[in-house]
Amino acid sequence: MKFLYNLLILVCVINLAACRDDFNYEPATGSELTFSKDTVYLDTIFSNIGSSTYNLKVYNKSNKDIKIPSISLGKGDNSHFRLMVDGMPGKSFNNIELLAKDSLFIFVETTVDIKQQTNGKEFLYTDEILFQAGNNQQKVDLVTLVKDAVFLYPQKFQDGSYESLNFGDTQIYGFFLDENDVVNGNELDWTNDKPYVIYGYAAVPPNKTLNISAGTEIHFHRNSGLVTFSDAVIDADGSIENPIVFQGDRLEPSFEDIPGQWDGIWISQDSDATFNNVIIKNAVDGLFINKNKLPVNLTNLQIYNCEKNGLLLQVANIIGKNIVTNNCGVAALNINYGGTYDFTHCTFANYWNRQNQTAVVINNGDGTNEFALQAHFKNSIIYGNASESLLMAPANKETNFTFKFEYSLIKFLNSGNRFDTTNFPYNFTNTVNFNNCLIAKNFSDYQPHFFNSSKNELMITDKATSLINFGSSVYAQQVPQDLAGKSRLTSADLGAYQHVSSSVE
């Protein structure tokens, strides 16, 4: 009896399924489909480098289950776009089923060799996705901008290994730049003709100079960077109108401000550099300088969005003018193990959105003569969202720890009274160390009213009345123009910029 009962239930289920018409797909007529967008814009890519994956959503707005006869790329098998439809990769698809009031995703990627398309530096590559239904055809356009570039990367040898560099006791994935490379020519002369895309560590060989022209764009892949060897030099000479830009190789807008996309620039021991009108962004440590020989001149330098430090300086010798920093996970300026530093009209800001960060950190290692510190800050701003934007750690109190701030703004709330502000190094009334400084001891005093710190626009505005014309005219003469080229000789505001109007904030 129980067997007959179960058999009856099974028969009923089969009959009910047979009565359903959900699985009877009708050919699409072309009127049922709508799309999440009319055009899929794939962001800018470099020649022969695959894009990110983008998606298009296709909707069946009708009350019937349909079968789309054909989905294909307009250029067919010759198209440089790639599709994935309903989990299947390809360039053309037939009889795609879509339930009533349901939708499906189409994923789109592309890789384009610019040399097969044009001799130009960049061009728009286009195609379309065609949806054929009887005599009706619908389409969605595909557009991407393709840039030509100079690609620099380690060689691969016949045994499958790759070129590498011995850097101290460490072997790193990298290569020496060659002034007589068979493909790229002189790799020690970077121009603005094409962007540079670097995989691994590009190294300036001993006793060689890397010259970088104004307007040059340099892009680094993940775990890549630029490094110098002994007696090597980097001469990066941009202009206000055409700065040199170091950044990651992800060109999508969503990666515009993402920290840690590449490792950074490393000026190693006994090498030197000049950075003039340069932007460094989205690195781990933006610029690391270690025991350089001659003073490194950093002028009109901007460093943003670094996972750790913007400027990491170790027993270095630096002359800095019109430097701007922001959004760094440890410090905007980290002076480690002493050195000799002279900063004029700099804005060391840090608005990193997590804890345990600050604007400026200074220490002198174990306090021995080898790590002696001499630091001078003039007409500058040290500020951010940390309670204390200046942290100093002298090893042996005043021994080998010489510093002076003049005509500068320093944010120092001394939260929880953690610091002794009556003694060295935080005695702000001591004019030997702090001469004519503005000390912001709460969130309202001496606010710089930056134009837009979230977008790295660190110009003070006309609301920052305490900072306007507060700078020393003597030090302003050492840096007569601000980072934007505006004269400060008649009225020297604090920081790297003269103030701007806040009316459009």
What is the tens place of the pLDDT at every residue in 117-142? 776 788 899 999 999 887 788 999 99
pLDDT value for 32: 83
Domain spanning 26-147, CATH class? mainly beta
What integer pLDDT is reported at residue 120 of this predicted model?
Answer: 72
Would you state the structure tokens that stand for residue 291, as one six-digit string? 């025991």
pLDDT band at 397 (very low <50, low <70, confident <90, very high): confident
Q: Is the pLDDT of residue 22 over 50?
A: no
Q: Are 107 and 115 in contact (CB under 8 A)?
A: no
| CA gap 79, 42 in Å, rounded | 15
Angle at 188 between CA 185 and CA 190, to 5 degrees: 85
Q: 119 to each of 39, 188, 251, how far by Cα in Å?
A: 26, 24, 21
Q: How far is CA 80 from CA 98, 137, 158, 185, in A?
A: 27, 22, 30, 29
Per-residue pLDDT at 24 exceeds 80: no
Q: Which residue has better confidence, 359 or 353?
A: 359
Q: What is the DSSP string of 164-207?
A: EEEETTEEEEEEE--TTBTTTB-TTEE-SSS-EEE-SEEEEPTT
Beta strand 457-460 with 450-452: parallel, antiparallel or unpaired?
Answer: antiparallel
Q: How confident is the model at residue 15 (pLDDT cuts 50, 70, 90)?
A: very low
Q: Residue 504 has what pLDDT?
A: 59
| pLDDT tens digits for range 209-243 | 999 999 999 999 999 999 999 999 999 999 999 99
pLDDT in tens, 297-353: 999 999 999 999 999 999 999 999 999 999 999 999 999 999 999 999 999 999 999
User: pLDDT tens for residues 66-105?
Assistant: 899 999 999 999 999 999 998 899 999 999 999 999 999 9
**pLDDT (tens digit, 9 = 90+) per residue, 145-197?**
999 999 999 998 888 888 999 977 889 999 999 999 999 999 999 999 999 99
pLDDT of 2 over the 60 cut? no
Which residue has better confidence, 240 or 3?
Answer: 240
Domain spans of the chain, in order of start: 26-147, 150-478
Give the CA distances from residue 205 to residues 26, 166, 210, 229, in Å, rounded to whole numbers and listed in that order: 68, 12, 9, 6
Q: What is the average pLDDT across 14-22?
A: 43
Instruction: Output the pLDDT for position 354.
Output: 87
pLDDT for 314 equals 97
248, β-bridge pairs = 220
**pLDDT above 70 covers what percent of the chain?**
94
Cα–Cα nearest to 336, from 357, 364, 356: 364
Helices (H) and strands (E) in the chain, counts: 2, 39
Please give the pLDDT value at position 3.
Answer: 41
Q: Is 463 left (phi over 0), alpha (psi -120 to 50) or beta?
A: alpha
Strand partners for 90? 83
Q: In whole angstroms, give the CA distance from residue 391 to residue 431.
A: 18
What value does the mean pLDDT take over residues 458-463? 97
According to the model, what pLDDT value does residue 27 have? 77
Rg (CA), the chain: 30
Q: CB–CB of 252/43 below 8 Å?
A: yes
Handedness of CA 188, 191, 197, 201 (dihedral sign): positive
Q: Quick: pLDDT tens for 255-268.
A: 999 999 999 999 99
Residue 20's pLDDT is what? 41
Letter string b/e over residues 68-99, b meaning 16 or more CB atoms within 10 A of that residue's CB: bbebbbeeeeebbbbbbbeeeeebebeebebe
Q: Quote the CA–CA distance of 319 and 475 in Å, as a whole number.
A: 13
Establish whether the linkage from the previous residue to 243 is cis, with ω within 30° of 0: no
Percentage above 90 pLDDT, the chain: 82
The per-residue pLDDT for range 329-345, each reduced to its tens digit, is 999 999 999 999 999 99
Q: Which DSSP letter does residue 295 get? A: P
- CA distance linking residue 262 with residue 264, whole number of Å: 6
Q: How many CB atoms lie within 10 A of CB 323?
A: 27
d(CA 327, CA 276): 21
The contacts of residue 2 (CB under 8 Å, 6+ apart) are: none
Q: Report the chain's mean pLDDT, rounded to a whole number.
A: 92
- Looking at residue 185, its pLDDT comes to 94
What is the reported pLDDT for 23? 52
Q: What is the mean pLDDT of residues 276-285?
A: 98
Q: From residue 485, how far is each of 74, 264, 299, 425, 500 by CA, in Å?
A: 50, 27, 12, 35, 13
